[in-house]
Amino acid sequence: MNQIKPYLPWTFRILLSFLFLFSAYAKLYPNPSLNFAIVTFEMKQLVPLGFSECVAPYFSRFIIGAEIALGLGFLQPHYLRKLVIPLSALLLIVFNIHLAYSMIQNTGGNCGCFGDLLPMTPAQAFTKNVITLGIIFWLWKL
């Protein structure tokens, strides 16, 4: 175990980076019926939440940009404890609040976390986010 311990933080940082970057990529992945999955993300996720059709494209691109920035932030050594880890935890907590609301309303189907590339139910995404939050808080304690 002592041989693995020095490599664990970087392993988890690379895993978290991949998770955020894959999530951003999946929202941009081309859908056969539409040009991009981002339109699906906007119309199926953001408009039902109360965003207007004019504001939803800006907010969806902000979310994708934040995911890219956090994914790249885990790969660099600066401001990890002060900025990257707290912002990624905040983003996942907000997503979990939305997923909990979706589970209470019993809206099954794809939650949109990974676009149409990897469909997940709200319960699966909630579980993934809780595990991810556990890894993030473990990294923060280091």
- Count CA atoms within 13 Å of residue 112 on its CB side: 23
Percentage of residues in the chain with pLDDT exceeding 90?
48
Tokens 């979706």 locate to 102
More confident call, 73 vs 48: 73
More confident call, 28 vs 107: 28
**Among 1-15, 43-57, 105-119, 124-138, the range of highest mean pLDDT:** 124-138
In this prediction, residue 109 carries a pLDDT of 76
Determine the number of helices (DSSP H) and then strands (DSSP E) in the chain: 5, 0
Burial status of residue 35 (CB atoms within 10 A of its CB: 0-12, 13-18, 19 or more): exposed
Q: Is the predicted pLDDT of residue 34 greater than 60, yes or no?
A: no
In this prediction, residue 31 carries a pLDDT of 65
Report pLDDT digits (tens) over 82-130.
999 999 999 999 999 988 988 888 777 777 788 777 888 889 999 999 9
- Closest alpha carbon to 123 in 131, 115, 44: 131
- Closest alpha carbon to 132 in 5, 11, 16: 16
In this prediction, residue 35 carries a pLDDT of 59
Percentage of residues in the chain with pLDDT exceeding 70?
94
More confident call, 80 vs 29: 80
CB-CB contact of 40 with 112 (8 Å): yes
* Average pLDDT of span 64-80: 94
Q: How far is CA 133 from CA 49, 59, 107, in A?
A: 24, 23, 23
In this prediction, residue 56 carries a pLDDT of 87
